[in-house]
Structure 1
Amino acid sequence: MPTQLPWHQIDTVLLDMDGTLIDLHFDSHLWQQLVPERYAERLELPLAEAKARIDTCYHAVSGTLDWYCVDYWSQTLGLDIRALKQEILEKIQWRPNAIPFLTELRAAGKQLVLFTNAHPASLSVKEARLGLASHLDLMVSTHELGWSKESQYCWQALAERLAFDPARTLFVDDSERILQAAADFGIGYQLAIQNPDSQQRPQQIIRFPAIHDYAELLPLSR
């Protein structure tokens, strides 16, 4: 799909964090490798069995706030997730050309809002590492709203908190399911990220315009 956007019709840009502004590799490594390894060590299990048990736990709460909750997983798995994150801070990296993209959006007068399902503890770790707030007007974790972005209740809660016109808003995310939730709410424009994890193969996006690199959108005035 083409990636040209009618910027003159867009006042607000809502941006996901993990896989959208930040390389998803940090989270992929944490949840798919480090957590299973430490869980296997704690219970003295073969790694394959540990992964199978954890995957069952993951699927049980997929799409809910618990799936994104550091405290939930610390309690469920008996691991200090906050401490594990501190071991791999070097993996927290911007996606290519994210900063130039944000810089141009700000220069064009767009309202820039980070809108993430990440737990506030996860958000604070990444903010401390990258200085996210300096590039944005506001950062909102769905944990503050009580629902994940998959739910229409979450979008309703955001509309009560944030002054924006959904029809003149662009939402950027790496999940088609969440992009569809935004469209269902009435967000005017959606943009998908094809390669949220730099270490994995790109995903196939069917329903929405998609990009590999923000450079594809620059300059905004072209």
Structure 2
Amino acid sequence: MRRERPTALLVDLDGVLRRWDPEVAAGAERRHGLPSGALVETAFDWPLLRAAVTGQLSHAEWMTAVVDRLTERAGGRDTAQAAVDEWQAYRGEVDPDVLELVRAARTAGVRVGLATNATDLLDADLKLLGLTEEVDAVVNSSKLGVHKPAKEYFPQACLAIGAPPARVLFVDDDDRSVRGARAAGLSAYRWNGPDDLRYLRAALAL
């Protein structure tokens, strides 16, 4: 069955609209004597990360837990804290090509929302990155209390963007989230990089 053209676009933040330079974490680890990959491995341990992105822990509490776990590996709490502080001072960079797509979509009358697994630091990050006024809605998992790709997430995201699932195009760099969106009735596209922009523009008739 032919799908209707999307009237709304939901875009993942991290990995799509926001890029992260892995050298920042690697540099902090080298300077503070941590094993390679220790920061991301510790912070993204799923039970801990899940608590942060569903609002059970604040961002600050999440980072305190990371410091606690890294203290022995870093040879002391002060060293672990310094490494985490240096890593966290970097808040990523906006992908200008994806931002251009977002702006073009909104100009064409397509409502755009951010659909992201994030902490309570998200609003501050969006302000810092200059993204607050660039989207029509922000769907933050920590405010909903449910994360992608849980089936309960996507109906809430569609409500926030003001469009039925069949008229929403969802873009994410995570396969599980893409599958979850499709199961919820959205069109979903797996983001691989800037070469995908041509397809997305065509799908949105831009």
Secondary structure at the aligned position of 2:146 is classed as coil
Whichever residue aligns with residue 119 of structure 2, its letter is H
> Are 2:113 and 2:161, in contact at CA under 8 Å, matched by a contact in 1?
no
Q: Under a length normalisation based on structure 1, what TM-score does the superposition of the two structures give?
A: 0.67
- Cα distance, 1:190 vs structure 2: 1.0
What are the superposed Cα offsets for residues 39-80 of structure 1, whole Å, 9 maximum, x if unpaired? xx4xxxx533882x9736633427724368623431212248
- Cα distance, 1:194 vs structure 2: 1.1
Distance 1:101 1:57 in 2: 31
Give the number of aligned pairs: 187
Q: How well do the aligned residues superpose, as a CA RMSD in angstroms?
A: 3.4
Aligned CA distance change for structure 1 residues 132 and 216 (closer, same or farther; 3 Å): same
Distance 2:11 2:107 in 1: 17
Aligned CA distance change for structure 1 residues 142 and 37 (closer, same or farther; 3 Å): farther
Distance 2:43 2:15 in 1: 22
Distance 1:216 1:157 in 2: 26
Among candidates 184, 189, 192, match of residue 190 of structure 2: 192
Question: 5+ residue gaps in structure 1?
Answer: 1-5, 196-210
Secondary structure at the aligned position of 1:73 is classed as helix
Distance 1:74 1:107 in 2: 38
> Are 1:74 and 1:81, in contact at CA under 8 Å, matched by a contact in 2?
no
Aligned CA distance change for structure 1 residues 147 and 80 (closer, same or farther; 3 Å): farther
Structure-2 residue corresponding to 1:166: 165
Aligned CA distance change for structure 1 residues 94 and 10 (closer, same or farther; 3 Å): same
Aligned CA distance change for structure 1 residues 191 and 81 (closer, same or farther; 3 Å): farther
Aligned-pair identity (%):
21
Distance 1:180 1:63 in 2: 21
Question: 5+ residue gaps in structure 2?
Answer: 68-80
Structure-2 residue corresponding to 1:12: 8
Distance 2:127 2:43 in 1: 29
Distance 2:43 2:87 in 1: 19
Equivalent runs, 1:105-144 vs 2, <5 Å? 105-125=105-125, 127-144=126-143
Q: Under a length normalisation based on structure 2, what TM-score does the superposition of the two structures give?
A: 0.72
Whichever residue aligns with residue 114 of structure 1, its letter is L
Structure-1 residue corresponding to 2:18: 22
- Cα distance, 1:123 vs structure 2: 4.3
Equivalent runs, 1:55-204 vs 2, <5 Å? 55=41, 58-61=44-47, 64-66=50-52, 70-78=59-67, 79=81, 83-84=85-86, 87-89=89-91, 92-125=92-125, 127-159=126-158, 161-187=160-186, 189-195=187-193
1:47 aligns with 2:34: yes
What are the superposed Cα offsets for residues 135-165 of structure 1, whole Å, 9 maximum, x if unpaired? 2111221111001112112224435555320
Whichever residue aligns with residue 182 of structure 2, its letter is A
Distance 2:35 2:191 in 1: 30
Distance 1:22 1:50 in 2: 20
- Cα distance, 1:116 vs structure 2: 1.0
